[in-house]
Amino acid sequence: MNLIDLPANVPWLSLIWLSLVIPTLIIALMKPEQKEEIRIVGTVFSFISLALTLLVYLAYDYRSPEKFQFLEEIPWLPELGINYILGVDGISLPMLLLNGIVIFTGALISWNIEDRAREYWALLLLLAAGVYGVFVSLDLFLLFIFYELAVLPMYLLIGIWGSTRKEYGAMKLTLYLMGGSAFIILGMVAMYFSGMLRTFDMRLLAQSALFSRDVQIVFFVPLFLGFGVLAGMFPFHTWSPTGHVAAPTAVSMLHAGVLMKLGAYGCLRVAMWIFPEGANYWLLPIAIATLINAVYGATIAMMQRDFKFMIGYSSVSHMGLTLMGLAAANTIGLTGAVLQMFAHGVMTALFFAVVGRMVYDRTHTRQFPELGGLFSVMPFAAIVFIIAGLSSMGMPGLAGFWAEFNIFMGMWQRFPLIAVLAGVSIPITAGYILMAAYRVFFGEMKNPEFRHLPKITVQEYVAGVILVAVLIISGIYPAYLTEPIEASVQPIAEALARAGTLGVRYP
Protein backbone atom coordinates (compact mmCIF):
# COMPACT_ATOMS: atom_id res chain seq x y z
CA MET A 1 0.00 0.00 0.00
CA ASN A 2 1.45 3.33 -0.95
CA LEU A 3 0.10 6.72 -0.10
CA ILE A 4 1.55 8.69 -2.98
CA ASP A 5 2.90 7.93 -6.42
CA LEU A 6 6.22 9.28 -7.54
CA PRO A 7 7.24 9.62 -11.18
CA ALA A 8 9.19 6.50 -12.04
CA ASN A 9 11.78 8.06 -14.32
CA VAL A 10 13.49 10.03 -11.56
CA PRO A 11 16.45 8.32 -9.84
CA TRP A 12 15.08 8.97 -6.36
CA LEU A 13 17.59 6.93 -4.42
CA SER A 14 20.59 8.46 -6.16
CA LEU A 15 19.07 11.84 -5.46
CA ILE A 16 18.88 11.01 -1.78
CA TRP A 17 22.56 10.37 -1.32
CA LEU A 18 23.60 13.00 -3.81
CA SER A 19 21.53 15.55 -1.91
CA LEU A 20 24.24 15.44 0.74
CA VAL A 21 27.24 15.14 -1.59
CA ILE A 22 26.25 18.28 -3.46
CA PRO A 23 26.26 20.52 -0.37
CA THR A 24 29.57 18.97 0.64
CA LEU A 25 31.06 20.24 -2.60
CA ILE A 26 29.30 23.60 -2.33
CA ILE A 27 30.55 24.10 1.21
CA ALA A 28 34.07 23.06 0.24
CA LEU A 29 34.09 25.87 -2.30
CA MET A 30 32.82 28.51 0.12
CA LYS A 31 35.03 30.78 2.17
CA PRO A 32 35.82 29.70 5.73
CA GLU A 33 34.49 33.00 7.08
CA GLN A 34 30.99 32.47 5.68
CA LYS A 35 29.93 30.44 8.69
CA GLU A 36 26.31 31.50 8.69
CA GLU A 37 25.86 30.69 5.00
CA ILE A 38 27.59 27.36 5.43
CA ARG A 39 25.21 26.42 8.21
CA ILE A 40 22.21 27.43 6.17
CA VAL A 41 23.37 25.45 3.13
CA GLY A 42 24.09 22.40 5.24
CA THR A 43 20.79 22.51 7.10
CA VAL A 44 18.70 23.20 4.01
CA PHE A 45 20.22 20.31 2.11
CA SER A 46 19.88 17.93 5.00
CA PHE A 47 16.23 18.94 5.16
CA ILE A 48 15.93 18.25 1.43
CA SER A 49 17.39 14.80 1.96
CA LEU A 50 14.91 14.18 4.78
CA ALA A 51 12.05 15.30 2.56
CA LEU A 52 13.23 12.99 -0.22
CA THR A 53 13.38 10.01 2.12
CA LEU A 54 9.89 10.83 3.35
CA LEU A 55 8.60 10.93 -0.21
CA VAL A 56 10.19 7.59 -0.99
CA TYR A 57 8.83 6.16 2.24
CA LEU A 58 5.32 7.23 1.43
CA ALA A 59 5.56 5.97 -2.13
CA TYR A 60 6.87 2.53 -1.21
CA ASP A 61 4.27 -0.17 -1.73
CA TYR A 62 4.93 -2.88 0.83
CA ARG A 63 2.05 -5.06 -0.33
CA SER A 64 3.53 -5.43 -3.78
CA PRO A 65 5.27 -8.76 -4.51
CA GLU A 66 8.26 -6.74 -5.70
CA LYS A 67 10.17 -6.34 -2.45
CA PHE A 68 12.79 -4.02 -3.92
CA GLN A 69 11.47 -0.85 -5.43
CA PHE A 70 12.92 2.30 -6.90
CA LEU A 71 15.53 0.13 -8.59
CA GLU A 72 18.40 1.76 -10.43
CA GLU A 73 21.00 -0.24 -12.28
CA ILE A 74 24.07 1.15 -14.02
CA PRO A 75 26.99 -1.03 -15.07
CA TRP A 76 30.14 -0.02 -13.26
CA LEU A 77 32.77 -2.71 -13.67
CA PRO A 78 30.56 -5.36 -15.27
CA GLU A 79 33.52 -7.59 -16.19
CA LEU A 80 33.80 -8.43 -12.51
CA GLY A 81 30.11 -8.34 -11.70
CA ILE A 82 30.35 -5.00 -9.92
CA ASN A 83 27.44 -2.72 -10.68
CA TYR A 84 25.75 0.36 -9.34
CA ILE A 85 22.47 -1.14 -8.15
CA LEU A 86 20.16 0.76 -5.84
CA GLY A 87 16.85 -0.30 -4.38
CA VAL A 88 14.95 -0.15 -1.11
CA ASP A 89 12.74 -2.52 0.79
CA GLY A 90 10.97 -2.42 4.12
CA ILE A 91 14.22 -2.93 6.02
CA SER A 92 16.20 -0.14 4.44
CA LEU A 93 13.32 2.37 4.34
CA PRO A 94 13.02 2.94 8.10
CA MET A 95 16.80 3.22 8.19
CA LEU A 96 16.73 5.85 5.47
CA LEU A 97 14.09 7.78 7.32
CA LEU A 98 16.09 7.50 10.52
CA ASN A 99 19.18 8.83 8.84
CA GLY A 100 17.18 11.70 7.38
CA ILE A 101 15.81 12.62 10.79
CA VAL A 102 19.14 12.34 12.56
CA ILE A 103 21.17 14.27 10.01
CA PHE A 104 18.60 17.06 9.93
CA THR A 105 18.41 17.35 13.69
CA GLY A 106 22.17 16.87 13.91
CA ALA A 107 22.59 19.76 11.49
CA LEU A 108 20.37 21.92 13.69
CA ILE A 109 22.39 20.93 16.73
CA SER A 110 25.65 21.83 14.96
CA TRP A 111 24.94 25.53 14.65
CA ASN A 112 27.23 26.34 17.54
CA ILE A 113 30.37 24.98 15.86
CA GLU A 114 32.61 27.99 15.31
CA ASP A 115 36.04 26.44 14.87
CA ARG A 116 36.75 25.40 11.25
CA ALA A 117 33.05 25.32 10.49
CA ARG A 118 33.56 24.73 6.78
CA GLU A 119 35.50 21.51 7.17
CA TYR A 120 33.14 20.36 9.91
CA TRP A 121 30.05 20.71 7.78
CA ALA A 122 31.66 19.17 4.72
CA LEU A 123 32.74 16.09 6.64
CA LEU A 124 29.46 15.78 8.53
CA LEU A 125 27.40 15.80 5.36
CA LEU A 126 29.81 13.44 3.59
CA LEU A 127 29.44 11.01 6.45
CA ALA A 128 25.65 11.09 6.26
CA ALA A 129 25.80 10.70 2.48
CA GLY A 130 27.80 7.52 2.97
CA VAL A 131 25.16 6.25 5.40
CA TYR A 132 22.38 6.89 2.90
CA GLY A 133 24.45 5.06 0.30
CA VAL A 134 24.77 1.95 2.43
CA PHE A 135 21.03 1.75 2.99
CA VAL A 136 20.14 2.05 -0.67
CA SER A 137 22.83 -0.23 -2.15
CA LEU A 138 21.90 -3.65 -3.39
CA ASP A 139 25.34 -4.42 -4.74
CA LEU A 140 27.60 -5.65 -1.99
CA PHE A 141 30.64 -3.92 -3.42
CA LEU A 142 28.83 -0.61 -3.63
CA LEU A 143 27.50 -1.10 -0.13
CA PHE A 144 31.02 -1.62 1.13
CA ILE A 145 32.29 1.51 -0.57
CA PHE A 146 29.57 3.62 1.00
CA TYR A 147 30.20 1.90 4.30
CA GLU A 148 33.84 2.99 4.36
CA LEU A 149 32.83 6.45 3.22
CA ALA A 150 30.59 6.64 6.26
CA VAL A 151 33.29 5.45 8.64
CA LEU A 152 36.35 7.41 7.65
CA PRO A 153 35.23 11.06 8.06
CA MET A 154 34.62 10.10 11.67
CA TYR A 155 38.35 10.09 12.31
CA LEU A 156 38.74 13.74 11.48
CA LEU A 157 35.40 14.77 12.98
CA ILE A 158 36.34 13.32 16.33
CA GLY A 159 40.01 14.18 16.11
CA ILE A 160 39.47 17.86 15.35
CA TRP A 161 36.22 18.83 17.04
CA GLY A 162 36.04 16.26 19.81
CA SER A 163 36.65 16.54 23.54
CA THR A 164 38.01 14.16 26.22
CA ARG A 165 40.97 12.22 24.80
CA LYS A 166 39.83 12.89 21.28
CA GLU A 167 42.91 11.66 19.43
CA TYR A 168 42.91 8.38 21.27
CA GLY A 169 39.18 7.94 20.81
CA ALA A 170 39.36 8.77 17.12
CA MET A 171 42.22 6.39 16.44
CA LYS A 172 40.68 3.58 18.44
CA LEU A 173 37.35 3.94 16.74
CA THR A 174 38.82 4.06 13.25
CA LEU A 175 41.12 1.11 13.76
CA TYR A 176 38.34 -1.01 15.26
CA LEU A 177 35.96 -0.20 12.47
CA MET A 178 38.55 -0.68 9.77
CA GLY A 179 39.48 -3.96 11.38
CA GLY A 180 35.84 -4.86 10.98
CA SER A 181 35.92 -3.91 7.33
CA ALA A 182 39.01 -6.05 6.82
CA PHE A 183 36.90 -9.01 7.92
CA ILE A 184 34.16 -7.90 5.59
CA ILE A 185 36.56 -7.75 2.65
CA LEU A 186 37.63 -11.29 3.35
CA GLY A 187 34.04 -12.46 3.50
CA MET A 188 33.20 -10.58 0.31
CA VAL A 189 36.05 -12.15 -1.64
CA ALA A 190 35.07 -15.60 -0.42
CA MET A 191 31.47 -14.92 -1.30
CA TYR A 192 32.45 -13.81 -4.77
CA PHE A 193 34.46 -16.88 -5.60
CA SER A 194 32.52 -19.61 -3.86
CA GLY A 195 29.17 -18.77 -5.40
CA MET A 196 29.52 -19.62 -9.05
CA LEU A 197 27.79 -16.49 -10.25
CA ARG A 198 30.76 -14.12 -10.02
CA THR A 199 28.61 -11.21 -9.02
CA PHE A 200 28.17 -8.85 -6.09
CA ASP A 201 24.45 -8.37 -6.70
CA MET A 202 23.00 -9.31 -3.33
CA ARG A 203 19.63 -10.26 -4.79
CA LEU A 204 21.35 -12.98 -6.80
CA LEU A 205 23.72 -13.97 -4.02
CA ALA A 206 20.82 -14.47 -1.63
CA GLN A 207 19.32 -17.23 -3.75
CA SER A 208 19.32 -20.34 -1.67
CA ALA A 209 21.62 -23.25 -2.39
CA LEU A 210 24.19 -21.04 -4.05
CA PHE A 211 26.75 -21.67 -1.33
CA SER A 212 27.67 -24.94 0.24
CA ARG A 213 26.97 -25.38 3.92
CA ASP A 214 30.68 -25.37 4.78
CA VAL A 215 31.33 -22.12 2.97
CA GLN A 216 28.37 -20.55 4.71
CA ILE A 217 29.47 -21.69 8.14
CA VAL A 218 33.07 -20.57 7.69
CA PHE A 219 32.54 -17.24 5.98
CA PHE A 220 29.47 -16.17 7.88
CA VAL A 221 31.82 -15.48 10.76
CA PRO A 222 34.02 -12.76 9.23
CA LEU A 223 31.01 -11.07 7.66
CA PHE A 224 28.91 -11.05 10.81
CA LEU A 225 31.82 -10.09 13.04
CA GLY A 226 32.97 -7.41 10.61
CA PHE A 227 29.62 -5.70 10.68
CA GLY A 228 29.13 -6.64 14.31
CA VAL A 229 32.12 -4.52 15.30
CA LEU A 230 30.31 -1.46 14.04
CA ALA A 231 27.13 -2.56 15.77
CA GLY A 232 29.03 -2.57 19.06
CA MET A 233 28.88 -6.32 19.51
CA PHE A 234 30.53 -7.79 22.58
CA PRO A 235 33.57 -8.19 22.86
CA PHE A 236 34.30 -5.63 20.13
CA HIS A 237 32.29 -2.82 21.68
CA THR A 238 34.97 -0.92 23.58
CA TRP A 239 35.57 1.59 20.79
CA SER A 240 32.02 2.78 21.01
CA PRO A 241 31.76 4.53 24.41
CA THR A 242 35.25 6.02 24.00
CA GLY A 243 34.39 7.24 20.53
CA HIS A 244 30.98 8.60 21.49
CA VAL A 245 32.35 10.51 24.42
CA ALA A 246 35.18 12.00 22.40
CA ALA A 247 32.97 12.99 19.47
CA PRO A 248 31.28 16.37 19.05
CA THR A 249 27.53 16.26 19.68
CA ALA A 250 26.15 15.95 16.18
CA VAL A 251 28.72 13.28 15.42
CA SER A 252 27.74 11.29 18.50
CA MET A 253 24.13 11.60 17.39
CA LEU A 254 24.91 10.33 13.94
CA HIS A 255 27.27 7.74 15.20
CA ALA A 256 25.20 6.16 17.92
CA GLY A 257 22.00 7.00 16.12
CA VAL A 258 22.73 5.77 12.64
CA LEU A 259 26.23 4.49 12.13
CA MET A 260 25.96 1.66 14.62
CA LYS A 261 22.79 0.68 12.80
CA LEU A 262 24.86 0.27 9.68
CA GLY A 263 26.56 -2.55 11.50
CA ALA A 264 23.34 -4.26 12.49
CA TYR A 265 21.93 -3.60 9.04
CA GLY A 266 24.99 -5.23 7.47
CA CYS A 267 24.66 -8.22 9.77
CA LEU A 268 21.10 -8.71 8.60
CA ARG A 269 21.31 -7.64 4.99
CA VAL A 270 24.64 -9.19 4.11
CA ALA A 271 25.60 -11.92 6.54
CA MET A 272 22.22 -13.39 7.47
CA TRP A 273 20.46 -12.83 4.19
CA ILE A 274 23.14 -14.34 2.02
CA PHE A 275 24.38 -17.06 4.38
CA PRO A 276 21.21 -18.29 6.13
CA GLU A 277 22.69 -21.68 6.94
CA GLY A 278 25.80 -20.12 8.35
CA ALA A 279 23.62 -17.84 10.45
CA ASN A 280 21.59 -20.72 11.68
CA TYR A 281 24.72 -22.56 12.74
CA TRP A 282 26.04 -19.67 14.82
CA LEU A 283 22.78 -18.44 16.36
CA LEU A 284 23.47 -19.62 19.88
CA PRO A 285 26.96 -18.05 20.25
CA ILE A 286 25.60 -14.82 18.84
CA ALA A 287 22.66 -14.88 21.20
CA ILE A 288 24.99 -15.39 24.15
CA ALA A 289 27.24 -12.54 23.04
CA THR A 290 24.26 -10.24 22.67
CA LEU A 291 23.00 -11.25 26.09
CA ILE A 292 26.31 -10.14 27.55
CA ASN A 293 26.05 -6.98 25.47
CA ALA A 294 22.66 -6.07 26.80
CA VAL A 295 23.15 -6.88 30.46
CA TYR A 296 26.81 -6.01 30.81
CA GLY A 297 26.40 -2.80 28.84
CA ALA A 298 23.53 -1.71 31.05
CA THR A 299 25.44 -2.57 34.21
CA ILE A 300 28.48 -0.62 33.12
CA ALA A 301 26.23 2.30 32.20
CA MET A 302 24.88 2.24 35.73
CA MET A 303 28.37 2.62 37.15
CA GLN A 304 29.40 5.68 35.15
CA ARG A 305 30.06 9.07 36.68
CA ASP A 306 30.29 10.73 33.29
CA PHE A 307 26.90 11.52 31.77
CA LYS A 308 28.06 10.92 28.21
CA PHE A 309 29.83 7.67 29.05
CA MET A 310 26.57 6.48 30.56
CA ILE A 311 24.74 7.19 27.31
CA GLY A 312 27.58 5.55 25.39
CA TYR A 313 27.23 2.33 27.35
CA SER A 314 23.45 2.48 27.13
CA SER A 315 23.95 2.43 23.35
CA VAL A 316 26.02 -0.70 23.67
CA SER A 317 23.28 -2.26 25.75
CA HIS A 318 20.54 -1.32 23.34
CA MET A 319 22.50 -2.41 20.31
CA GLY A 320 22.89 -5.70 22.14
CA LEU A 321 19.11 -5.96 22.15
CA THR A 322 19.04 -5.20 18.43
CA LEU A 323 21.50 -7.96 17.71
CA MET A 324 19.51 -10.21 19.98
CA GLY A 325 16.52 -9.65 17.75
CA LEU A 326 18.66 -10.75 14.83
CA ALA A 327 19.80 -13.80 16.76
CA ALA A 328 16.17 -14.76 17.31
CA ALA A 329 16.08 -15.27 13.53
CA ASN A 330 12.31 -15.36 13.25
CA THR A 331 9.93 -12.82 11.75
CA ILE A 332 8.95 -11.26 15.01
CA GLY A 333 12.52 -11.04 16.30
CA LEU A 334 13.85 -9.55 13.07
CA THR A 335 10.98 -7.06 12.99
CA GLY A 336 11.81 -6.09 16.53
CA ALA A 337 15.47 -5.72 15.63
CA VAL A 338 14.80 -3.36 12.75
CA LEU A 339 12.28 -1.45 14.83
CA GLN A 340 14.80 -1.20 17.65
CA MET A 341 17.36 0.20 15.23
CA PHE A 342 14.89 2.93 14.37
CA ALA A 343 13.66 3.57 17.88
CA HIS A 344 17.09 3.51 19.44
CA GLY A 345 18.47 5.73 16.70
CA VAL A 346 15.96 8.47 17.39
CA MET A 347 16.16 8.04 21.13
CA THR A 348 19.94 8.06 21.38
CA ALA A 349 20.18 11.03 19.05
CA LEU A 350 17.95 12.82 21.52
CA PHE A 351 20.10 11.67 24.44
CA PHE A 352 23.28 12.96 22.86
CA ALA A 353 21.63 16.20 21.84
CA VAL A 354 20.65 16.78 25.46
CA VAL A 355 23.92 15.63 26.99
CA GLY A 356 26.36 17.04 24.48
CA ARG A 357 24.74 20.21 23.33
CA MET A 358 22.16 21.35 25.82
CA VAL A 359 24.04 20.37 28.98
CA TYR A 360 27.77 20.00 28.28
CA ASP A 361 28.21 22.91 25.91
CA ARG A 362 26.66 25.16 28.56
CA THR A 363 27.95 23.75 31.82
CA HIS A 364 31.27 22.40 30.48
CA THR A 365 31.03 19.42 32.74
CA ARG A 366 29.47 16.01 32.37
CA GLN A 367 30.30 14.65 35.81
CA PHE A 368 27.17 13.70 37.76
CA PRO A 369 28.48 15.03 41.09
CA GLU A 370 28.98 18.48 39.58
CA LEU A 371 25.61 18.67 37.86
CA GLY A 372 22.16 18.89 39.41
CA GLY A 373 19.01 20.97 39.57
CA LEU A 374 19.05 21.85 35.90
CA PHE A 375 15.29 21.42 35.56
CA SER A 376 14.69 24.95 36.73
CA VAL A 377 17.16 26.30 34.17
CA MET A 378 16.34 24.18 31.16
CA PRO A 379 13.03 22.41 31.61
CA PHE A 380 12.88 21.61 27.91
CA ALA A 381 16.08 19.56 28.08
CA ALA A 382 14.80 17.74 31.13
CA ILE A 383 11.48 16.85 29.56
CA VAL A 384 12.88 15.55 26.28
CA PHE A 385 15.54 13.61 28.16
CA ILE A 386 12.91 11.94 30.29
CA ILE A 387 10.77 11.07 27.27
CA ALA A 388 13.78 9.53 25.55
CA GLY A 389 14.62 7.72 28.77
CA LEU A 390 11.13 6.31 29.07
CA SER A 391 11.37 5.06 25.52
CA SER A 392 14.68 3.38 26.26
CA MET A 393 13.17 1.63 29.29
CA GLY A 394 10.44 0.29 27.04
CA MET A 395 7.53 2.39 28.27
CA PRO A 396 4.34 1.58 26.36
CA GLY A 397 3.25 4.42 24.16
CA LEU A 398 6.77 5.16 22.99
CA ALA A 399 8.74 3.63 20.12
CA GLY A 400 11.11 1.64 22.30
CA PHE A 401 8.32 -0.42 23.79
CA TRP A 402 7.27 -2.07 20.54
CA ALA A 403 10.84 -2.77 19.59
CA GLU A 404 11.83 -4.42 22.83
CA PHE A 405 8.56 -6.26 23.09
CA ASN A 406 9.08 -7.84 19.67
CA ILE A 407 12.69 -8.69 20.39
CA PHE A 408 11.89 -10.46 23.63
CA MET A 409 8.98 -12.29 22.02
CA GLY A 410 11.24 -13.45 19.23
CA MET A 411 13.98 -14.50 21.56
CA TRP A 412 11.49 -16.32 23.75
CA GLN A 413 10.59 -18.48 20.79
CA ARG A 414 14.22 -19.23 19.97
CA PHE A 415 16.14 -19.41 23.28
CA PRO A 416 13.71 -18.79 26.19
CA LEU A 417 16.44 -18.85 28.80
CA ILE A 418 18.39 -16.07 27.12
CA ALA A 419 15.22 -14.00 26.78
CA VAL A 420 14.61 -14.32 30.49
CA LEU A 421 18.19 -13.48 31.41
CA ALA A 422 18.23 -10.52 29.04
CA GLY A 423 15.12 -9.24 30.75
CA VAL A 424 17.41 -8.21 33.61
CA SER A 425 18.66 -5.36 31.46
CA ILE A 426 15.26 -3.63 31.57
CA PRO A 427 15.20 -2.79 35.29
CA ILE A 428 18.89 -1.86 35.15
CA THR A 429 18.13 0.51 32.28
CA ALA A 430 15.29 2.02 34.22
CA GLY A 431 17.66 2.39 37.14
CA TYR A 432 20.38 4.32 35.39
CA ILE A 433 18.03 6.48 33.37
CA LEU A 434 16.08 7.56 36.41
CA MET A 435 19.23 8.04 38.40
CA ALA A 436 20.73 10.21 35.68
CA ALA A 437 17.56 12.23 35.35
CA TYR A 438 17.51 12.78 39.09
CA ARG A 439 21.19 13.68 39.38
CA VAL A 440 21.26 16.06 36.48
CA PHE A 441 17.88 17.72 36.39
CA PHE A 442 16.57 17.43 39.90
CA GLY A 443 18.31 17.35 43.23
CA GLU A 444 20.11 20.43 44.47
CA MET A 445 22.04 22.70 42.17
CA LYS A 446 25.72 22.23 42.98
CA ASN A 447 26.98 25.17 41.03
CA PRO A 448 25.15 28.51 41.47
CA GLU A 449 26.53 29.72 38.13
CA PHE A 450 24.21 27.30 36.41
CA ARG A 451 21.37 29.77 37.05
CA HIS A 452 22.77 32.02 34.37
CA LEU A 453 23.27 29.49 31.62
CA PRO A 454 22.42 30.62 28.08
CA LYS A 455 18.91 29.90 26.86
CA ILE A 456 18.06 26.94 24.67
CA THR A 457 18.25 28.12 21.06
CA VAL A 458 15.55 27.83 18.42
CA GLN A 459 17.51 25.17 16.56
CA GLU A 460 17.74 23.07 19.68
CA TYR A 461 14.01 23.39 20.29
CA VAL A 462 13.19 22.34 16.75
CA ALA A 463 15.57 19.37 16.86
CA GLY A 464 14.27 18.23 20.24
CA VAL A 465 10.63 18.55 19.23
CA ILE A 466 11.15 16.62 15.99
CA LEU A 467 12.88 13.75 17.74
CA VAL A 468 10.31 13.55 20.54
CA ALA A 469 7.48 13.71 18.02
CA VAL A 470 8.93 10.78 16.09
CA LEU A 471 9.28 8.77 19.28
CA ILE A 472 5.68 9.41 20.27
CA ILE A 473 4.18 8.88 16.81
CA SER A 474 6.01 5.59 16.44
CA GLY A 475 4.84 4.60 19.88
CA ILE A 476 1.20 5.32 19.17
CA TYR A 477 1.06 4.12 15.58
CA PRO A 478 3.95 1.68 15.08
CA ALA A 479 2.20 0.03 12.13
CA TYR A 480 3.65 2.57 9.70
CA LEU A 481 7.01 1.00 10.51
CA THR A 482 6.20 -2.58 11.36
CA GLU A 483 4.15 -3.45 8.30
CA PRO A 484 6.81 -2.74 5.69
CA ILE A 485 9.47 -4.19 7.98
CA GLU A 486 7.53 -7.37 8.55
CA ALA A 487 6.81 -7.83 4.86
CA SER A 488 10.51 -7.57 4.10
CA VAL A 489 12.03 -9.61 6.92
CA GLN A 490 9.61 -12.46 6.32
CA PRO A 491 11.55 -13.98 3.37
CA ILE A 492 14.76 -13.78 5.38
CA ALA A 493 13.15 -15.39 8.40
CA GLU A 494 11.74 -18.12 6.17
CA ALA A 495 15.15 -18.82 4.65
CA LEU A 496 16.61 -19.03 8.13
CA ALA A 497 13.88 -21.38 9.26
CA ARG A 498 14.41 -23.56 6.17
CA ALA A 499 18.10 -23.70 6.93
CA GLY A 500 17.23 -24.79 10.43
CA THR A 501 14.98 -27.66 9.40
CA LEU A 502 17.14 -28.80 6.54
CA GLY A 503 20.13 -29.75 8.59
CA VAL A 504 21.56 -31.81 5.74
CA ARG A 505 24.81 -31.16 3.96
CA TYR A 506 24.57 -29.76 0.51
CA PRO A 507 26.78 -31.55 -1.99
Q: What torsion do the CA atoms of 474, 478, 484, 485 make, to the nearest 10 degrees?
A: 80
Packing angle between helix 425-441 and helix 276-303, nearest 10 degrees? 40
Minimum Å gap between C-beta 60 and other proteins is 28
DSSP for 419-473 reads HHHHTTHHHHHHHHHHHHHHHHHSS--S-GGGGGPPPPPHHHHHHHHHHHHHHHH
Are 442 and 386 in contact by the 8 Å Cβ rule? The answer is no
**Residue 137 or 425: which CB sits closer to other proteins?**
137
Draw the binding track, 85-124, toward other proteins (x: CB under 8 A; -: no contact).
Answer: ----------------------------------x-----
User: Which range of residues in 107-115, 185-193, 299-307, 423-431 is near other proteins by CB under 8 A?
Assistant: 185-193
Query: Do residues 73 and 89 lie in contact, with contact meaning Cβ atoms separated by under 8 Å?
Result: no
Cα 307 to its chain centre, rounded Å, is: 21
Segment interacting with other proteins, rule: CB under 8 A, options 186-194, 209-217, 278-286, 409-417: 186-194
171 binds other proteins (CB under 8 A): yes
How many chain residues interact with other proteins (CB under 8 A)?
Answer: 29
Pick the stretch among 74-82, 253-261, 389-397, 480-488 that binds other proteins (CB under 8 A).
74-82
Mask: binding to other proteins, 129-168, rule CB under 8 A, as x and -? ---------------xx--xx--x--xx--xx------x-
Binding mask 355-374 for other proteins (x = CB under 8 A): --------------------
- Residue environment code for 326-345, b if the CB has 16+ CB neighbours within 10 A, otherwise e: bbbbbbbbbbbbbbbbbbbb
For the bound state, the minimum distance from the C-beta of residue 404 to other proteins, rounded and expressed in Å, comes to 34
Residues 6+ apart with CB under 8 A from 19: 45, 48, 49, 52
Q: Does 175 bind other proteins (CB under 8 A)?
A: yes
CB of 243 to other proteins, least distance (A): 14
- 180 versus 325: smaller Cβ distance to other proteins: 180
* Cα gap 437→442, rounded to integer Å: 7
CB-based burial, 61-99: b 16+ in 10 Å, e otherwise = ebeeeebbbbeeeeeeeeeebbbbbbbbbbbbbbbbbbb
Position 281 contacts other proteins (CB under 8 A): no
Closer to other proteins at the Cβ: 160 or 462?
A: 160
Q: Which residues bind other proteins (CB under 8 A)?
A: 76-79, 119, 144-145, 148-149, 152, 155-156, 159-160, 167, 170-171, 174-175, 178-179, 182-183, 185-186, 189-190, 192-193
